[in-house]
């Protein structure tokens, strides 16, 4: 098992082949390159608890068929590996070194050799057994814990300086009392009206709606 530090990471595009992921790493003080297909690199991310929102089958039908938005997230996740520490069972070779062909060997996939054949490398490169892992750092774990548990309003305040809305006081109308007017008395004296018109007043007990000021919701 090798430990290495990633100093550069991005998608590599070359004419005639699908884009692939190229990592430049430092192993035992020596700079090396690791190449991964996009499908392999996505598996590496998932094994490292990264890119969990990217479907594992995104590259089943090739890179060209991948959702553009998700593909952009994939690339950002790859670039985000820069500066991280990785672990893998990886070996590095020079051009001309002998190796045994496997199902993943490009010569086997191209039909130029069979599994088990002894082949020779054409150029300097690397061979990974299994997958690469890039454990989350303490800072990344703390950030995820904060995002999972923080009150959304508090989070907005911390990130963007947005203050929580102040409670709004809602005025409740006060019932208006009905009083006798001089016109009522005048009508009674002039026309002999003794029965005062009966006003249909509001109910004796007016139920005042209880209005609560909005409060910030807390996410549990």
Query: pLDDT per residue over 177-188, tens digit each?
Result: 544 545 444 444
For residue 163, the number of C-alpha atoms closer than 13 Å in the C-beta half-sphere is 3
Q: Are residues 92 and 195 in the same domain?
A: no
Residue 198 has pLDDT above 50, yes or no: no
Query: If pLDDT is split at 50, 70 and 90, which confidence band does 151 have?
Result: low
Question: With the CA atoms of 22, 23, 24 and 28 taken in that order, what torsion angle do they form, in degrees rounded to the nearest 10?
Answer: -140
Instruction: Please check whether residue 51 lies inside any domain of the structure.
Output: yes
Q: Of 23-27, 115-119, 128-132, 148-152, which gets the smallest average pLDDT?
A: 148-152
Instruction: Please check whether residue 155 lies inside any domain of the structure.
Output: no
**At 26, is the secondary structure helix, strand, or coil?**
strand
Residue 62 has a pLDDT of: 92
Q: How far apart are the first and last CA of the chain?
A: 41
Query: If pLDDT is split at 50, 70 and 90, which confidence band does 99 have?
Result: confident
Q: Are residues 9 and 40 in the same domain?
A: yes
Residue 199 has pLDDT above 50, yes or no: no
CA separation, residue 139 to residues 142, 143, 144, 170, 198 (Å): 5, 6, 9, 45, 77
Q: Are residues 16 and 44 in the same domain?
A: yes
> Which helix (H) or strand (E) element contains residue 126?
strand 125-133
Share of the chain above pLDDT 70, in %: 68
Instruction: Please check whether residue 128 lies inside any domain of the structure.
Output: yes
Query: If pLDDT is split at 50, 70 and 90, which confidence band does 106 have?
Result: confident
Instruction: Please check whether residue 157 lies inside any domain of the structure.
Output: no
**At 93, is the secondary structure helix, strand, or coil?**
strand
Residue 2 has a pLDDT of: 92
Gap between the Cα atoms of 138 and 141, Å rounded: 5
Residue 193 has a pLDDT of: 42
Q: Are residues 137 and 168 in the same domain?
A: no
* Final residue in a domain of this structure, among 123, 149, 175: 149
Task: Tell me the residue range of the domain where 114 lies.
Answer: 2-149
Q: Are residues 137 and 196 in the same domain?
A: no
Instruction: Please check whether residue 127 lies inside any domain of the structure.
Output: yes
Instruction: Please check whether residue 156 lies inside any domain of the structure.
Output: no
pTM: 0.62
Residue 196 has pLDDT above 60, yes or no: no
Q: Are residues 133 and 204 in the same domain?
A: no
Query: If pLDDT is split at 50, 70 and 90, which confidence band does 194 have?
Result: very low
Share of the chain above pLDDT 90, in %: 46
Query: If pLDDT is split at 50, 70 and 90, which confidence band does 24 have?
Result: very high
How many domains would you assign to the chain?
Answer: 2
Residue 134 has pLDDT above 80, yes or no: yes
Q: Are residues 34 and 116 in the same domain?
A: yes
Is there a contact between 131 and 88 (Cβ–Cβ < 8 Å)?
yes
Instruction: Please check whether residue 154 lies inside any domain of the structure.
Output: no
Residue 102 has a pLDDT of: 85
Those residues with Cβ within 8 angstroms of residue 193's Cβ, 6 or more apart along the chain or in another chain: 187
Q: Are residues 196 and 116 in the same domain?
A: no
Q: Are residues 16 and 89 in the same domain?
A: yes
Average pLDDT value for residue range 195-201: 37
Gap between the Cα atoms of 191 and 95, Å rounded: 123
Q: Are residues 197 and 141 in the same domain?
A: no
* Final residue in a domain of this structure, among 96, 114, 149: 149
Instruction: Please check whether residue 39 lies inside any domain of the structure.
Output: yes
């Amino acid at each position: 098992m090798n430990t290495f530090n990633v100093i550069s990471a991005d998608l590599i595009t070359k004419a005639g082949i699908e884009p692939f992921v190229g990592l430049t790493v430092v192993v035992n003080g020596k700079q090396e390159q690791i190449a991964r297909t996009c499908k392999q690199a996505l598996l590496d991310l998932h094994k490292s608890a990264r890119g969990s929102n990217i479907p594992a089958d995104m590259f089943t039908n090739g890179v060209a068929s991948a959702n553009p938005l998700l593909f952009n997230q994939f690339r950002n996740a790859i670039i985000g590996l820069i500066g991280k520490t990785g672990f893998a069972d990886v070996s590095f070779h020079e051009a001309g070194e002998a190796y045994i062909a496997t199902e993943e060997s490009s010569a086997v996939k191209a039909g130029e050799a069979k599994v088990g054949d002894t082949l020779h490398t054409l150029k300097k490169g690397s061979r990974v057994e299994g997958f690469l892992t890039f454990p989350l750092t303490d800072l990344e774990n703390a950030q995820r814990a904060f995002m999972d548990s923080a009150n959304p309003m508090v989070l907005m305040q911390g990130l963007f300086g947005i203050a929580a809305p102040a409670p709004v006081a809602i005025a409740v109308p006060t019932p208006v009392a009905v009083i006798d007017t001089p016109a009522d008395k005048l009508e009674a004296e002039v026309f002999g009206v003794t029965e005062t018109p009966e006003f249909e007043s509001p109910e004796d007990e007016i139920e005042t709606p209880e209005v609560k000021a909005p409060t910030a919701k807390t996410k549990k």
